[in-house]
């Protein structure tokens, strides 16, 4: 069997991730490899951490990219903060809230969940009522629910969580780099993300940030973390001043992340947030012009990912196939409860442009007219 050279199509990636990657990021990945403890790479690690603090909007010392995708970041933070018997509250309004519940149970946590209809957000009062019923160690919530397109407001939530002596753990996978996460000003104790969404870097790293209060919880565990690879008390020594060997970091991926973060810094966070918001609003307007409607109420709509209602009588999967095969555009269908009911359209990072929106809505309009 003879295998040909790779010849992948340059897709227009407008799904829930990965997003499109700037040519500068691809070029960065082609730089020569060095060792994972080479002085040049150690210097680059410092730069990556500084840039991640800028994007997370935090001063947390523990801020670095885990070697693994966003799901590894989720697994790591749950596994490091949940010991057998620990009471945990998970706010579930979508697919990834369900995944936090699953992971909590796998690590032996005593799970309490509050549920909201998919497409809706939690109010601070709902979280307060849940905490009045039961003291918990950690409250987990998804800021940007990739399955529904909901942006969860975080105002006052940390204040309430801390009032009850708990830690606030936030999923920022589809928000980091696209909307303000504001870790310090929002009082977030633990946050994780992925590189392939609004950061517009290939998938493979999971940025995390942990404040000093949460760090002490890791150091005071009663039991040893069951995962050696995702034990943050070990990994922090590699990313800390000691640079103690833990694993061989993915060198090229860190090159890519550094360049992606540098692009964010050059654009400026405020201008980047404005771009995502304005492009999302333009997309919503274009949808209305072709007779389509977003699934989520506008005040809770996520700028980086929009769920679009599939019209009655239309096969959503057939439309996504035609977009890919005939127009080279990738979007995705719904997950879980929304399977077959919505399309998920990502306008994240480098993919968030009016040019892409016009291409997509034009193609959607032509396909639907012929359906």
pLDDT digits (tens, 9 = 90+) for 83-136: 999 999 999 999 999 999 999 999 999 999 999 999 999 999 999 999 999 999
Low-confidence ranges of the chain (pLDDT < 70): none
Round the CA-based radius of gyration of the chain to a whole number and report it.
Answer: 21
Residues of the chain with CATH 3.90.1150.10: 12-16+268-369
- The whole-number pLDDT of residue 351 equals 98
CATH of domain 12-16+268-369: 3.90.1150.10
The pLDDT of residue 128 is 98
Closest of 247, 260, 258 to residue 36, by C-alpha: 247
User: Alpha-carbon distance 307 to 205, whole Å?
Assistant: 25
Residue 41: which residues within 8 A CB-CB, separation 6 or more? 34, 35, 249, 251, 254
In the block, which residue shows the tokens 């009045």? 132
Question: Whole-angstrom Cα distance, residue 234 to residue 160?
Answer: 31
Using omega within 30 degrees of 0 as the cis cutoff, is the peptide bond preceding 18 cis?
yes
Does the predicted model carry a pTM greater than 0.95? yes
Give φ, ψ of 297 to 5 degrees. Answer: -55, 140
pLDDT at 9: 87
- C-beta separation of 328 from 322 below 8 A: no
Residue 38 has φ and ψ, to the nearest 5°, of: -60, 140
| DSSP one-letter code for 228 | S
Q: What is the pLDDT, as a whole number, of residue 371?
A: 80
Coil/strand/helix, residue 175 = coil
Instruction: Give residue-wise pLDDT tens across range 327-347.
Output: 999 999 999 999 999 999 999
DSSP3 helix / strand / coil % (the chain, rounded to 5): 45, 15, 40
Contact 53/74 with Cβ under 8 angstroms?
Answer: no
Residue ranges matching CATH 3.40.640.10 in the chain: 23-265
Pick the CATH number of 23-265 from 3.40.640.10, 3.40.50.300, 3.40.50.850, 3.90.1300.10: 3.40.640.10
């Amino acid at each position: 069997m003879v295998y040909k050279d790779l010849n992948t199509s340059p897709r227009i990636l407008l799904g829930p991730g990965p997003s499109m990657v700037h040519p500068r990021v691809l070029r960065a990945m082609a730089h020569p490899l060095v060792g994972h403890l080479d002085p040049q790479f150690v210097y680059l690690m410092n730069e990556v951490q500084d840039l991640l603090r800028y994007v997370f909007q935090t001063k947390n010392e523990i801020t670095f990219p885990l070697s693994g995708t966003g799901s590894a970041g989720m697994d790591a933070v749950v596994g490091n903060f949940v010991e057998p018997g620990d009471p945990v509250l998970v706010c579930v309004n979508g697919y990834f809230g369900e995944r936090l519940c699953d992971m909590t149970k796998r690590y032996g946590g005593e799970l309490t969940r509050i549920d909201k209809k998919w497409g809706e957000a939690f109010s601070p009062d709902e979280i307060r009522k849940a905490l009045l019923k039961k003291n918990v160690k950690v409250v987990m919530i998804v800021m940007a629910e990739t399955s529904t397109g909901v942006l969860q407001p975080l105002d006052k939530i940390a204040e309430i969580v801390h009032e009850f002596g708990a830690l606030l753990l936030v999923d920022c996978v589809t928000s980091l780099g696209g909307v303000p996460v504001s870790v310090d000003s929002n009082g977030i104790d633990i946050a994780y993300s992925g590189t392939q969404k609004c950061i517009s870097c290939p998938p493979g790293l999971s940025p995390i940030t942990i404040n000093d209060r949460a760090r002490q919880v890791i150091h005071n565990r009663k039991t040893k973390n069951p995962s050696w690879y995702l034990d943050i008390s070990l990994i922090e020594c590699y990313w800390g001043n000691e640079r103690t060997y833990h694993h061989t970091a993915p060198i090229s991926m860190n090159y890519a992340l550094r360049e992606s973060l540098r692009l964010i810094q050059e654009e400026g966070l405020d201008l980047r947030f404005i771009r995502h918001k304005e492009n999302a609003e333009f997309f919503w307007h274009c949808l209305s012009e072709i007779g389509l409607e977003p699934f989520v109420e506008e005040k809770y709509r996520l700028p980086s990912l929009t769920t679009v209602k599939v019209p009655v009588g239309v096969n959503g999967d057939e439309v996504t196939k035609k977009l890919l095969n005939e127009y080279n555009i990738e979007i995705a269908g719904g997950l879980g409860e929304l399977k077959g009911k919505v399309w998920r359209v990502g306008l994240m990072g480098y993919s968030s442009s009016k040019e892409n929106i016009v291409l997509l809505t034009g193609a959607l309009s032509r396909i639907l007219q012929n359906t």
